[in-house]
Each structure stands twice: as structure tokens, then as C-alpha cells.
């Protein structure tokens, strides 16, 4: 049996800064330049790499051409990808695979809340908990801090993570 690997054009492959043992899974051309997914990261047209566990949300528009994702600490990025091929499937699978626990918490007074997400890098063992507050919530508000701390302790106790 012969395994077929995605054929990345030589000029794109030469620009990639792959880590030792990192494997290319899929690629697609965007109007902004090539996007390459590997088993460890999404490589962007500007040469940056974003580890899968650092992508909070990724989505394709209804037409399938606009690909956007939110990178932890860096905000949203948008690319126009006329023919995504396997890239869409690979991005979804890789981002989802890093999520160990995802839990929605609410503030006691209701209306607003937060997400608690435990992420693990591909092939890694260390789990990193992240808190995503709803818009308008102040991370320095003692009530928010208390609610998040209480909920995080309960989720960790329930899941063992």
C-alpha cells in the first residue's frame, strides 16, 4: 500500500519552518498566500505558525471561501480560500483534538458568563486551562474572579483534569 501525502509546492515547502518530525497534512492557496496545516500547527502566509491549541475558534463562511480563526492573545484573522480542499476538515479536526474539557459557566446574577477550556498541545501531556469571558465582563471584577474560581474548582474536581 502506498500512502499519498499532500503535495505542497516546493517554493511553499522551502519557506516552512517545520519542527523536527512535524508532518504536513493539508494545504490550500488563499488570496493572501498559502495556508499549510501540519500535525502541530497552522502555517500562515506571512511565515508565522499558530499552534492548534492557540486557535480558540475557526470557521468557514456559508460559501466556504472565507476562513477565519481567533488566535489566543492575537485576535481574529481572515483569509479568502477559494478551494480549501482538505484544509477545512484538517483545521476542524486538529483544533477539536486539543480540547480536553469545555464548560460553560454562568455568573450568579445571570445574563453573563464564561467558558472554561482545558487545552493540550498535539502529542503533549500538559493541560492548560483558559477562561473566555463574555463581552462586557471585567476580568478584574472580584465577583467575576470568584465565580470563575469556584466553577473551575468544581469542573476540575468532576473531570479530574
Task: Please tell me the predicted confidence (pLDDT) of residue 85.
Answer: 87
| Cβ atoms of residues 46 and 33 within 8 Å | yes
Which residue do the cell numbers 480549501 mark?
A: 84
- Residue 53 DSSP label: G
| Cβ atoms of residues 39 and 22 within 8 Å | yes
Task: Please tell me the predicted confidence (pLDDT) of residue 54.
Answer: 95
Question: pLDDT (tens digit, 9 = 90+) per residue, 103-122?
Answer: 999 998 877 899 999 999 99
| Residue intervals in the chain for CATH 2.30.29.30 | 10-97
Question: pLDDT (tens digit, 9 = 90+) per residue, 86-107?
Answer: 998 999 999 999 999 999 999 9
Task: Please tell me the predicted confidence (pLDDT) of residue 141.
Answer: 93
Flag residues of the chain having pLDDT under 70. 1-6, 64
Given the candidates 2.30.29.30, 2.70.150.10, 3.40.50.11540, 3.30.70.260, the CATH classification of the domain at 10-97 is 2.30.29.30
Amino acid at each position: 500500500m502506498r500512502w499519498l501525502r499532500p503535495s505542497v509546492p516546493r517554493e511553499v515547502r522551502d519557506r516552512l519552518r517545520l519542527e523536527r518530525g512535524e508532518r504536513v497534512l493539508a494545504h490550500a492557496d488563499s488570496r493572501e498566500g498559502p495556508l499549510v496545516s501540519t500535525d502541530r500547527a497552522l502555517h500562515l502566509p506571512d511565515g508565522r505558525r499558530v499552534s492548534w491549541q492557540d486557535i480558540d475558534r475557526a470557521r468557514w463562511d456559508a460559501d466556504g471561501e472565507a476562513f477565519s480563526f481567533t488566535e489566543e492573545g492575537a485576535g481574529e484573522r481572515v483569509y479568502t480560500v477559494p478551494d480549501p480542499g482538505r484544509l477545512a476538515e484538517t483545521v476542524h479536526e486538529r483544533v477539536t483534538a486539543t480540547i480536553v474539557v469545555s464548560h460553560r459557566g454562568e455568573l450568579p446574577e445571570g445574563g453573563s458568563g464564561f467558558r472554561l477550556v482545558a487545552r493540550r498541545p498535539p502529542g503533549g501531556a500538559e493541560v492548560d486551562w483558559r477562561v473566555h469571558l463574555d463581552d462586557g465582563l471585567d476580568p478584574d471584577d472580584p465577583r467575576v474572579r470568584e465565580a470563575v474560581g469556584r466553577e473551575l474548582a468544581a469542573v476540575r474536581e468532576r473531570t479530574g483534569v
